[in-house]
């Protein structure tokens, strides 16, 4: 009974804490500008099913796709087991679903195999990061914390799966001993090989089984609460992020409605624009970005596929699309913290542009969309870069001198070069 109450208290506390942190993230995302992404629900659903559920963009790199697939499937399916653990914990039952009989044995057996594949995949992932030191996992933005974050996630998953398998091994051994409470249920294709490692007395086995059970479930609840502080948040946000992702051709950039009114007024003096609130052009800080950009930032799991295909980054420039996403997330989180501590009107005098992302980075972009194409969860770093450029050009008139020259040519000569518009048709004369 004490155990049940303790379980209830821990679970409720974990869920409450997670809810508080989740709400903070939602609040932070809502600090972004509104943009409507509720059109074409069917197409959006299909995109989400294909890209997030179906992992369609992962297959470009077969080895990590294969390994990630096991971890992903493990995450989705082993959660069915968590349901049983929850019920057992609350009601003091043991293997409450055992009544399913043969199907239950099949489920437990499958969970075991999945748990093992998750375990193995995570070990290989750790080796790829720390021993093989794959280039994709390094870079200026991959400082101490992002690297530790990745390792903590992998180690936690390895520990959770180990606890799950050890728990089953102890349970199986207790079943063989005919211990009371440990009903004969489940199949143990993996943990049967661990049985020999365990003590043989019933009391010791019960201690192992119970310890692993508590470690596993408390571990899961702790991990849940780690998510909002971690890049691992993608396991939740990959789904809404793909659902709300851009469905238009990647080459199409948004036409700014705020500019449209002014241009119309300039071309046609009789045009009276509808009243709109004066806003900034482009983005200086994270709150000038759209909520989509901010959701993107929270979804990023720092895999580095974007940066590894970025032509600027490949050729040694400072720009790294992954850094753009991480900076955006860190900045909006910082703004959120400031609001929590000092109220909604708090200003800390910092901004995303300059304090996080430098001019050199935004001007190195070729807008080639390789980063957008590469992202397995449809994040769009290019849009953030463009918004920062818009601010630099339209609010500050701060562009590289050659860009200013190009723009003045377009304005005066209707071409980006300094040729006379009267000569535009000369190509037809020469042979």
Partner 1 sequence: MAELMAAGEEPEILFWVGCAGSYDERAQKITRDICKILHHVGMKYAVLGTEESCTGDPAKRAGNEFLFQMQAMTNIEVLNAYNIKKIVTGCPHCFNTIKNEYPGLGGTYEVIHHTQLIQDLINDGKLKAEGGESFKGKKITYHDPCYLGRGNGIYEAPRKALEVLDAQLVEMKRCKSNGLCCGAGGAQMFKEPEKGKKDINVERIDEALETNPQVIAAGCPFCMTMLSDGIKLKDKEQEVKVLDIAEITARANGL
Closest distance between partner 1 and the C-beta of residue 328, in Å? 17
CB of 220 to partner 1, least distance (A): 38
What's the min distance (Å) between Cβ of 325 and partner 1?
A: 18
Candidate list 13, 35, 60, 177; residue touching partner 1; CB under 8 A: 60
Of 223, 211, 222, 221, whose CA–CA distance to 3 is shortest?
A: 211
> What is the number of alpha carbons within 13 Å of residue 300 lying toward its C-beta?
28
**Segment 268-297, which members bind partner 1 (CB under 8 A)?**
281-282
User: How many residues of this chain interact with partner 1, rule: CB under 8 A?
Assistant: 71
Tokens 């748990």 found at: 115
Interface residue with partner 1 among 312, 325, 326, 379 (CB under 8 A) is 312
Cβ closer to partner 1: 194 or 405? Answer: 405
Please give the residues from 203 up to 262 whose contact with partner 1 meets the rule CB under 8 A.
248-253, 255-256, 259-260, 262
β-bridge mates for residue 290, sequence order = 33
**99 Cβ neighbours under 8 A, 6+ residues apart:** none
What residues numbered 412-431 form the site for partner 1, per CB under 8 A? 414-417, 419, 421-428, 430-431
Closest CA to 35 of 331, 237, 250, 256: 256
| Phi, psi values for residue 312, rounded to 5° | -65, -45
Q: Which range of residues in 73-81, 193-201, 329-337, 405-413 is near partner 1 by CB under 8 A?
A: 405-413
**In the set 92, 99, 101, 400, which binds partner 1 (CB under 8 A)?**
400
Beta-ladder partners of 353: 357
Contact 11, 219 (CB under 8 A): no
Site for partner 1 in 363-382 (CB under 8 A): 363-370, 372-374
Q: Are 118 and 161 in contact (CB under 8 A)?
A: yes
Q: Which helix (H) or strand (E) holds 218?
A: helix 202-226
Residue with tokens 């980075």: 361
Alpha carbon distance 159, 100 (integer Å): 28
Of 315, 341, 343, 344, the one binding partner 1 by CB under 8 A: 315
Rounded Cα distance, 294 and 344, in Å: 18
39 binds partner 1 (CB under 8 A): no
Counting contacts by CB under 8 A, is residue 179 touching partner 1? no
Q: Are 382 and 371 in contact (CB under 8 A)?
A: yes
Should residue 392 be labelled a site residue for partner 1 when binding is judged by CB under 8 A? yes
User: Which residue in 143, 314, 347, 354 binds partner 1 (CB under 8 A)?
Assistant: 314
Residue 88 is inside which H or E element, if any? helix 62-91
Among 264, 265, 342, 347, binds partner 1 (CB under 8 A): 264
Q: Which of 266, 276, 277, 279 binds partner 1 (CB under 8 A)?
A: 266
What string marks each residue from 323 to 362 as x (binds partner 1 by CB under 8 A) or -?
Answer: -------------------------------------x--
Query: Does residue 12 touch partner 1 according to CB under 8 A?
Result: no
């Amino acid at each position: 009974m004490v155990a049940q109450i303790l379980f209830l208290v821990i679970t409720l506390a974990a869920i409450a804490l997670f809810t508080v942190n989740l709400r903070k993230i939602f609040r932070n995302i809502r600090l972004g500008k509104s943009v409507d992404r509720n059109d074409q629900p069917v197409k959006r659903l299909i995109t989400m099913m294909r890209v997030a559920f179906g992992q369609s963009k992962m297959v470009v790199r077969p080895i990590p796709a294969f390994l990630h697939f096991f971890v992903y499937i493990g995450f989705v399916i082993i959660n069915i087991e968590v349901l049983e653990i929850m019920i057992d914990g609350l009601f003091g039952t043991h293997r409450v679903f055992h009544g399913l009989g043969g199907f239950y044995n099949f489920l437990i057996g499958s969970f075991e195999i999945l748990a093992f594949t998750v375990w193995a995949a995570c070990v290989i992932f750790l080796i790829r990061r720390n021993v093989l030191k794959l280039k994709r996992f390094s870079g200026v933005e991959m400082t101490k914390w992002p690297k530790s974050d990745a390792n903590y996630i992998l180690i936690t998953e390895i520990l959770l799966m180990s606890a799950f398998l050890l728990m089953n091994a102890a349970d199986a051994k207790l079943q063989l001993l005919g211990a009371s409470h440990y009903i004969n249920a489940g199949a143990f294709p993996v943990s049967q090989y661990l049985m020999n490692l365990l003590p043989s007395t019933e009391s010791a086995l019960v201690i192992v089984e119970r310890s692993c059970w508590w470690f596993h479930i408390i571990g899961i609840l702790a991990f849940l609460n780690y998510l909002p502080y971690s890049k691992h948040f993608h396991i939740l946000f990959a789904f809404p992020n793909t659902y709300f992702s851009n469905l238009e051709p990647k080459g199409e950039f948004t036409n700014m409605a705020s500019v449209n009114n002014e241009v119309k007024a300039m071309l046609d003096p009789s045009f009276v624009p509808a009243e709109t609130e004066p806003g900034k052009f482009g983005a200086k800080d994270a709150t000038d970005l759209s909520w989509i950009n901010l959701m993107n930032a929270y979804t990023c799991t720092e895999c580095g596929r974007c940066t590894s295909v970025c032509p600027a980054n490949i050729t040694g420039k400072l720009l790294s699309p992954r850094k753009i996403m991480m900076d955006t997330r860190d900045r909006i989180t910082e703004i959120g913290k400031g609001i929590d501590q000092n109220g909604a009107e708090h200003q800390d005098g910092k901004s995303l542009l300059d304090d996080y992302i430098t001019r050199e980075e935004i001007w190195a972009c070729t807008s080639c969309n390789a980063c957008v194409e590469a992202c397995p969860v449809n994040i769009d770093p290019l849009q953030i870069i463009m918004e920062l450029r818009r601010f630099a050009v339209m609010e500050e008139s701060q562009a590289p001198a050659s860009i200013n020259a190009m723009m003045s040519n377009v304005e005066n000569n209707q071409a980006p070069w300094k040729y006379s518009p009267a000569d535009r048709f000369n190509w037809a004369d020469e042979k």
